[in-house]
Amino acid sequence: GNSVTQMEGPVTLSEEAFLTINCTYTATGYPSLFWYVQYPGEGLQLLLKATKADDKGSNKGFEATYRKETTSFHLEKGSVQVSDSAVYFCALSRNQGGKLIFGQGTELSVKP
């Protein structure tokens, strides 16, 4: 079936460090891929998305590239800030009704 696997957290970084959160997926066909973020005390928010192979999604300094050959959609940011501390969820949609299939989430903590 369709599934998403993320690297386990928590991930703790110092401010201005480079961030990578790994995400791999299993799906038939050509899913759309998403990163959602959940800040403390808030609801899930879409961070970025990519809908076809080799697409790069980007937002707020975060990037992720849809790699079909490695079935991956790793999240990266060149210089994290304390305000990036949150839980990050990778997700896919097979566009069958639009339902999302999420990974287990990765907690990021950025220290000043």
Nearer to other proteins, 49 or 77 (CB): 49
Cα–chain center distance at 58: 11
Is the separation of the CB atoms in 82 and 18 below 8 Å?
no
Q: What is the smallest separation between the CB atom of 42 and other proteins, expressed in angstroms?
A: 7
Applying CB under 8 A, the residues found at the interface with other proteins are 4, 36, 42-46, 49, 89, 91, 95, 97-105
Q: What is the smallest separation between the CB atom of 14 and other proteins, expressed in angstroms?
A: 25
Is the separation of the CB atoms in 47 and 35 below 8 Å?
yes
Nearer to other proteins, 14 or 104 (CB): 104
Nearer to other proteins, 17 or 44 (CB): 44
> Parallel, antiparallel, or unpaired: how do β-strands 19-21 and 62-65 relate?
unpaired
Q: What is the smallest separation between the CB atom of 95 and other proteins, expressed in angstroms?
A: 7
Nearer to other proteins, 73 or 89 (CB): 89
Nearest CA among 106, 111, 39 for reference residue 73: 106
Is the separation of the CB atoms in 46 and 34 below 8 Å?
yes
Q: What is the smallest separation between the CB atom of 15 and other proteins, expressed in angstroms?
A: 26
